Structure 1
Amino acid sequence: MNVISLFPPPGTTIDGWSVVRELGNGGFAVVYLVEKHGLRCALKLARHRDSSGDDKQTHARTLRELSALLLLDHPNIVKHRGYGYSEQGNVYLALEYVDGWTLAEWAERKHPTVQEVLHVFDKISAALSYMHGRGVLHRDLKLSNVLIRKSDGEPVIIDFSCASYSLAEELTDWGLPPGTDRFRAPEQFTWLREHKAEQRAKYAFQVADEIFAVGAMLYELLTDPRPTEVQARVTLNSTVMKPPPARALNVRVPEALNDLVDCILSREPARRPVDTEALRRELGELLAYSSAEYLSPVHPPSEQRPLEPPDQVMPEVANPRLPVSPTRSGRERWGLAAGLAALIALTVAGSFLLSRGEPTESGAQTVVGVSRPQIPPHSAPLTSTAPAMSPPSPPPMTLTGLATAVPKEGSTVKTPPSPESPLQGRPSRGRTKAAAAADCATMTLVAALAAGCPSAQIRPEAFTCPAGAEEVMQEDLRWKVNQSFALTLDARHETDAYVWFTAGAEVMGVVPKGVPSAQRAVAPPGTRFYGKAYFLSDRMGRSEGPALVIRYDRVKLPGQDERPVCFVVESPSKGYEDGRVKAYNLGGGYVVDRWP
């Protein structure tokens, strides 16, 4: 077997490097903290050998990462310390070990001021400008791929496993380059929709994509006091509407900085800074400010105190009772009312702009004075699909029975054809119902409401699995397509209850105790699934309201790091109101090799 053990005991050696502990693992490599002659490094070990018949080319990817790092030598970019081969023949990289926090952890622990955040992003932009000048593109910039060194507070860009450089061989098997969807520029999704029928077409990643990712990271830190937590967040790369201005979600964001972030996250690449050096100059101009708002913490430190995490392991379920509909406290009711008020304000503005045929991007700038908890989550760019649904109104059942209630081998999620049509500049009169329905199917929730779409359904997008998911599921997790698992759909709510799921919101599922032994071997209790909720307004002949669909694209087994996967849950609903659907929180899903 060519896969290296994920947990070699401390003291094990890899080509003379003594393993101290594991730092992380993913679909292509495992990273260890190692020592040799008193020098500590992060050793990144490819999962496959060059001669292992590796269809995902993890060996080649590791060597390409080495090639990219050999081109770079910058204080804010992780340094290579050498490379070699393990005793089994797997290539490894020895990298500088950075003892630090991720950007998200740093923001929560250090409570940085606006000026300190700008200083970090100024350093990041300088490193990117240097990197781009040598023809290297990182292609996976995100909060977890930038560390803040504890000793001196310097940011260090890490993980070049998705990087590319001039004349590098393309190793990606599908249209978009590897990366993290949340930080992709919106033009990538537009390109994918336009070229989805072209099997050999590949998106040309640009500096503008990298700049958008920087803006997305900055937006996250400015608007979210707890960026490490799994929670519903606004979508940053919808092709229909921009996210709300940062200042609308956090009044502490200075107006000039709000305008810069708005520019970086533009739907039009030409409106962003022309390159990372230009971005650095703009950040440097803001750094010159010394007013009180720049010297104050981005978020009140009291808002960044850690919350109690959801239980890792859910209580064992035998025969769950029929739950009572959840009630809301007065504070929750006021929060819901405020959120709906904000949604209505967005709707009115969007409806006015759409009726005039003006771009929605300019309209997004009119939203002001809305505090963060009151903003309803936006959805990603969506297209129409219609999955085959599970039986209606499932009675409470044991976990053993639930595992057999999901689709079996050979079941599919079918996708009817749906025409696509542009959203902007289209007159509202004289259109057929079919054309209007097609437009609605491609809109986000707010845009659909603004355009007067019935039910304003949120549909999961037809999309390929995340990069590396197929290999991870088949070779690491030993999952099979159509294999079914039982889980609590959202661990933040009681398992034995009907709960409300907000369309487009992120959810975190967890495997409870009491699952069948066959599942326990590959998805044990405590396994967490991360994804997003959707719903379909079609009754499908099976339920009386919108059906819930959850698409999980990441999984974290106990004691391991997150990995990309494709896992779908379908459940009939028991209620629908205001962009939310109510469903039983104990459900079953199944493994797929592509999104329907």
Structure 2
Amino acid sequence: MTATLFRLPSGAVVDGWHVSRELGNGGFAVVYLVEKNGKPYALKVARHREASGDDKQTHARMVREATALLMLDHPNIIRHRGYGYAEAGNMYLALEYVDGWTLAEWKQRKHPTLHEILQVFVKLASALSYMHARGVLHRDLKLVNVLIRKSDGEPIIIDFGCATYTLAEDLTEEGLPPGTERFRAPEQFEFLREHKNEHRARYAFKVADEIFALGAMLYELLTDPWPTEHYRRTSLNSLISPPPAFDVNPRIPEDLSDLVAKILSREPSKRPVDTEALRRELEEHLERSGAEYTMPAHAPSEQLPSKLPGDKSPAGVPPNGPPPRKRASRALATGAALVALTAVTFWLAPGDIPAPLPDHSAPPMISPPDMPLQSPAPMVLPPATDAGQKEGSTVKMTTPEVSPQGRPQRSQKRVSAAECAAMSLVAALTAGCPGSQIRPEAFTCPDGAERAMEADLHWKIGERFTLVLDDRHDQFKSTWFTPGSDVVGFVPKDEGHDRRQLEVAPPGTRFYGKAYYLSDKMGRADGPALVIRYDRVKLPGQDERPVCVVVEGHAIEFKDGRVRAKNWLTGKVVARWP
């Protein structure tokens, strides 16, 4: 049936949120600029379930977006400010209002240097690493879903309408999850080709897909001086890799171009092993950058005048986009191969054509109003309350308590383990219950770890290495570890290392992983323990590799959610997390 769009007029009030104007609308929601207590916010209001044409999933999509955002609290991720129901029964989600440009607009308006672009992507990779550690995948990273805040230049990831998280129910009715064609990893299309006759086959979105999308965004900013313009562009996810960035834009240093090519590799195993590894590579590259990184990514003669999307193209710019720049002969050969071998070679707009799924374009400055095609596992939202709400109101919502610095504060009330266990996921998160990182479950090792340990590192399952568990603390003293936190271990210079370790894990080797805690109530007969899983390693002078190394040590003390243990112990190479 034809869906009618629920709209709130200017001046309407929804549970204390005063509607100023509409900012944008999409297939499943409308986004408004609203004001409450003198401050601006963005209010994302779902269509009415019966009017949306999707009465089974519309509400569940909004619930899932709210759930994903409740798991996250990071300065470079859009922040949740409450949820509730409009008078007509439509669920709404209140978000912080970000006055900023999309990445494409920022590139075109501000003409950033290579150094400034890399700074932004280091922060984006850090935000994604934080997000992935909590089991959340965005699944629709693109230029319009990152805003650069005007006041301080901070990048903010927005629009979690396509996001998913651990244990969320998959209701996707297509082979691929929701997303945007331009920024899909090539293995997604390979999956469709391999399973074209299997109607129930569903692609499992992975961190490697997120890494590819981030690389595609970086490639766009480095190679395209007109990122907001609508014109034909070479495919980034075809069978053949796109031309190297330095072939398209001579201002791009070759080593930076090589890093982007690695992130966009056709083979997922050749990309950084996760977003934390990607962050470190970008950061290390930034630290090594020279004078050539202080120039704008494109020459002034190539830049368009600063303008808003939708303005008429400046004189001299053809309707199909900018005139082609001169490229090296191998770039031309690559382009010819792309035309010959790619079924979908061109795209029309930067990040706004999700096919075959519905469009997920974002209006500038707020989280866009589109919804995903999945919903979480069934759950019940906790009762929404607002201290300033009038009695008898038909709308209920929650607004986190905010500190003087503007960050949500946790309630001082302690919640018991039994109460946490009885709560729904959203309620447990809201109540500040401990995360699942405290107790590690048995999982397989990272992709490629077994091959890397055997073929590249020449490690044997069961052998042991001595190391300092966390490089932030004294190796000879006991240390407090926070379960769920990242740790970086290293092999110190010491005469006690045996010959085997000196050969395959010498001093200077660094291990990257997470800390966990196991109590005697979790099946340990010899008392509580600190457990650290290292899933990546970097030997001196070599690239990072995925591994499986476990350290387990007696917990000296457990207090206020932290565990104290020795900081110099022995790690064991394993084939599966214990």
Q: TM-score range by the shorter chain?
A: 0.5 to 0.7
CA contact (8 A) 2:208 2:271 kept: yes
Deviation at 1:308, TM superposition (A): 9.3
Aligned to 1:75: 75
Aligned to 1:297: 296
Whichever of the two has the greater Rg, that structure is: 2
Aligned to 1:91: 91
Name the CA shift for 1:346/1:129 in 2 (closer, same or farther; >3 Å).
closer
Aligned to 2:134: 134
Deviation at 1:135, TM superposition (A): 0.3
Supply the AA of the counterpart residue of 1:172. Answer: T
Supply the AA of the counterpart residue of 1:169. Answer: E
Deviation at 1:311, TM superposition (A): 9.5
CA contact (8 A) 2:147 2:157 kept: yes
> How far apart, CA to CA, are the structure 1 residues paired with 2:241 and 2:212?
12
> How far apart, CA to CA, are the structure 2 residues paired with 1:113 and 1:206?
31
Name the CA shift for 1:65/1:554 in 2 (closer, same or farther; >3 Å).
closer
Deviation at 1:193, TM superposition (A): 1.2
What SS is found at the alignment partner of 1:230? coil
> How far apart, CA to CA, are the structure 1 residues paired with 2:306 and 2:358?
25
Name the CA shift for 1:90/1:531 in 2 (closer, same or farther; >3 Å).
closer
Deviation at 1:554, TM superposition (A): 6.2
Deviation at 1:232, TM superposition (A): 1.3
> How far apart, CA to CA, are the structure 2 residues paired with 1:312 and 1:290?
36
CA deviation string 1:214-244 (max 9, x = no partner): 0000000000011011011111000x20000
> How far apart, CA to CA, are the structure 2 residues paired with 1:166 and 1:283?
27
> How far apart, CA to CA, are the structure 2 residues paired with 1:280 and 1:216?
15
Matched, 1:249 2:248: yes
What are the residue-to-residue correspondences of 1:98-177 with 2, within 5 Å?
Answer: 98-177=98-177
Supply the AA of the counterpart residue of 2:72. Answer: L
The percentage of counterpart residues that share the same residue type is 63
Supply the AA of the counterpart residue of 1:269. Answer: P
What SS is found at the alignment partner of 1:31? strand
> How far apart, CA to CA, are the structure 2 residues paired with 1:52 and 1:562?
13
Supply the AA of the counterpart residue of 1:211. Answer: I
CA contact (8 A) 1:10 1:21 kept: yes
> How far apart, CA to CA, are the structure 1 residues paired with 2:43 and 2:309?
32
Deviation at 1:145, TM superposition (A): 0.4
CA contact (8 A) 1:65 1:161 kept: yes
Name the CA shift for 1:34/1:4 in 2 (closer, same or farther; >3 Å).
farther
Supply the AA of the counterpart residue of 2:297. Answer: V
CA deviation string 1:101-158 (max 9, x = no partner): 1011111111111111010000000000000000000000000000011111000100
> How far apart, CA to CA, are the structure 1 residues paired with 2:200 and 2:36?
45
Aligned to 1:47: 47
Supply the AA of the counterpart residue of 1:246. Answer: A
What SS is found at the alignment partner of 1:92? strand
Name the CA shift for 1:4/1:10 in 2 (closer, same or farther; >3 Å).
farther
Supply the AA of the counterpart residue of 1:99. Answer: D
> How far apart, CA to CA, are the structure 2 residues paired with 1:563 and 1:167?
22
Aligned to 2:339: 445
CA contact (8 A) 1:2 1:48 kept: no
> How far apart, CA to CA, are the structure 2 residues paired with 1:144 and 1:163?
15
CA contact (8 A) 1:44 1:92 kept: yes
CA contact (8 A) 1:554 1:562 kept: no
What SS is found at the alignment partner of 2:234? coil
Aligned to 1:182: 182
What SS is found at the alignment partner of 1:18? strand
CA contact (8 A) 1:146 1:158 kept: yes
Aligned to 1:288: 287
What SS is found at the alignment partner of 1:288? helix
Name the CA shift for 1:198/1:147 in 2 (closer, same or farther; >3 Å).
same
Supply the AA of the counterpart residue of 2:54. Answer: D
> How far apart, CA to CA, are the structure 2 residues paired with 1:445 and 1:140?
26
Deviation at 1:309, TM superposition (A): 9.9
CA contact (8 A) 1:50 1:90 kept: no
CA deviation string 1:42-80 (max 9, x = no partner): 111111338977256121001000000010000000000
Supply the AA of the counterpart residue of 1:445. Answer: V
Deviation at 1:507, TM superposition (A): 5.1
Deviation at 1:303, TM superposition (A): 2.3
Matched, 1:17 2:17: yes
CA contact (8 A) 1:50 1:59 kept: no
Deviation at 1:197, TM superposition (A): 1.4
Segments of 5+ residues of structure 2 without an aligned counterpart are 313-319, 372-578
Name the CA shift for 1:202/1:143 in 2 (closer, same or farther; >3 Å).
same
What SS is found at the alignment partner of 2:116? helix
Supply the AA of the counterpart residue of 1:263. Answer: K
Supply the AA of the counterpart residue of 1:205. Answer: F
Name the CA shift for 1:165/1:258 in 2 (closer, same or farther; >3 Å).
same
CA contact (8 A) 2:113 2:293 kept: yes
> How far apart, CA to CA, are the structure 2 residues paired with 1:142 and 1:61?
20
> How far apart, CA to CA, are the structure 2 residues paired with 1:531 and 1:154?
26
Name the CA shift for 1:284/1:95 in 2 (closer, same or farther; >3 Å).
same
Deviation at 1:192, TM superposition (A): 0.9
> How far apart, CA to CA, are the structure 1 residues paired with 2:269 and 2:33?
42
Name the CA shift for 1:250/1:241 in 2 (closer, same or farther; >3 Å).
same
> How far apart, CA to CA, are the structure 2 residues paired with 1:250 and 1:96?
37
Report the TM-score, using the length of structure 1 for normalisation: 0.54
> How far apart, CA to CA, are the structure 1 residues paired with 2:156 and 2:360?
26
> How far apart, CA to CA, are the structure 2 residues paired with 1:161 and 1:66?
9
Name the CA shift for 1:4/1:53 in 2 (closer, same or farther; >3 Å).
closer
Name the CA shift for 1:310/1:46 in 2 (closer, same or farther; >3 Å).
closer
Name the CA shift for 1:70/1:308 in 2 (closer, same or farther; >3 Å).
closer
Supply the AA of the counterpart residue of 1:219. Answer: Y
What SS is found at the alignment partner of 2:30? strand
CA contact (8 A) 2:105 2:308 kept: no
What SS is found at the alignment partner of 1:153? coil
> How far apart, CA to CA, are the structure 2 residues paired with 1:82 and 1:2?
30
> How far apart, CA to CA, are the structure 1 residues paired with 2:166 and 2:370?
28
Name the CA shift for 1:555/1:119 in 2 (closer, same or farther; >3 Å).
closer
CA deviation string 1:562-595 (max 9, x = no partner): 989xxxxxxxxxxxxxxxxxxxxxxxxxxxxxxx
Name the CA shift for 1:112/1:259 in 2 (closer, same or farther; >3 Å).
same
Aligned to 2:447: none
Name the CA shift for 1:75/1:50 in 2 (closer, same or farther; >3 Å).
farther
Aligned to 2:276: 277
CA deviation string 1:445-474 (max 9, x = no partner): 244xxxxxxxxxx76x6xxxxxxxxxxxxx
Supply the AA of the counterpart residue of 2:240. Answer: M
Name the CA shift for 1:267/1:311 in 2 (closer, same or farther; >3 Å).
closer
> How far apart, CA to CA, are the structure 2 residues paired with 1:301 and 1:96?
35
> How far apart, CA to CA, are the structure 1 residues paired with 2:49 and 2:307?
42
> How far apart, CA to CA, are the structure 1 residues paired with 2:132 and 2:206?
10
Aligned to 1:422: none
What SS is found at the alignment partner of 1:175? coil
Name the CA shift for 1:18/1:217 in 2 (closer, same or farther; >3 Å).
same
Aligned to 1:37: 37
> How far apart, CA to CA, are the structure 2 residues paired with 1:290 and 1:444?
32
CA contact (8 A) 1:15 1:87 kept: no
Name the CA shift for 1:237/1:6 in 2 (closer, same or farther; >3 Å).
same
> How far apart, CA to CA, are the structure 1 residues paired with 2:105 and 2:278?
24
Report the TM-score, using the length of structure 2 for normalisation: 0.56
> How far apart, CA to CA, are the structure 2 residues paired with 1:312 and 1:102?
16
CA contact (8 A) 2:179 2:357 kept: no
Name the CA shift for 1:97/1:2 in 2 (closer, same or farther; >3 Å).
farther
Name the CA shift for 1:43/1:263 in 2 (closer, same or farther; >3 Å).
same
Deviation at 1:286, TM superposition (A): 1.3
Name the CA shift for 1:69/1:4 in 2 (closer, same or farther; >3 Å).
farther
Aligned residues: 359
What SS is found at the alignment partner of 2:233? coil
Name the CA shift for 1:263/1:161 in 2 (closer, same or farther; >3 Å).
same
What SS is found at the alignment partner of 1:214? helix
What SS is found at the alignment partner of 2:213? helix
CA deviation string 1:225-284 (max 9, x = no partner): 11011011111000x200000010111111221111000000000000000010011111
